[in-house]
Amino acid sequence: MTAPILVFAVGNESRGDDALAPLLLRGLEGWAEAVGLDGQVELIEDYQLQVEHVTDLQNRSAVLFVDADMSCAEPFHFSEIAAEKDSSYTSHVMTPFALLHTYRQVYGTDAPPAFLLRIRGYNFELGNPLSDKAAANLEEATKLMRALCAEGDLQCWRQCLVNV
C-alpha cells in the first residue's frame, strides 16, 4: 500500500527566514483539510533531516522537501532530486540528497520520487522575524505547493519543473 505524498518542511522559526518551510507547512494544513486532501498529503516538520527520517519515506508515492535557501533565485527553485552521498552523510544534519542515499543503503532500493522546493530567504539570524521579501516569496511558493498537492500527478509536477 502506498502512503500519501509526504511534504517534509525543514527549518527553524526562531532564525528569521529559516521559518519559511514551517510557515508554508502550517499554511497547507488547514487548506488541505478544507479542500479534502487531508488523507492524500502528509505534512511533517522538523528542524533538520536526520537518519531516522528514512522511515518516513517508506512506500510514499512522492516526497517533497521544503527548505529556505539564501542562494537560489527568487521567489523559489523547484527541482526533482536523486540520492547522492555527500559530506552530510555521516553528520548529525543531513541534506535531502543524503537522506535519499541512506534510504537506498537501508532498504536496498531507491527512495520514492523526490522533489526539493527551495524558497529564497535573506536573513537567518537568531531572533529575527521573517523578512518582507521572504514573506512575498512564501506567498508564491504556497501557490505552487497548493497546485502540486491538489494535482498529485508526478507528470504534472515534472511539467512544473520546466515552467518554473
Per-residue pLDDT tens for 100-135? 999 999 999 999 999 999 999 999 999 999 999 999
Q: CATH for 5-163? A: 3.40.50.1450
Predicted pLDDT of residue 31? 82
Q: How far is CA 51 from CA 30, 82, 91, 115, in A?
A: 29, 16, 9, 18
Q: How many helices (H) and strands (E) does the chain have?
A: 4, 5
Backbone angles phi, psi at 69, to 5 degrees: -150, 130
- Per-residue burial over 96-117, b if 16 or more Cβ lie within 10 Å, else e, is bbbbbbbbeeeeeeebbbbbbb
Cis peptide before 75 (omega within 30 of 0): yes
Predicted pLDDT of residue 88? 63
Predicted pLDDT of residue 113? 95
**pTM for the whole thing?**
0.91
Which residue positions in the chain have pLDDT lower than 50? none
Give dist(CA 71, CA 87) in Å, integer. Answer: 19
Residue in 118, 80, 82, 79 with CA at minimum distance from that of residue 100: 82
Predicted pLDDT of residue 151? 76
Predicted pLDDT of residue 148? 85
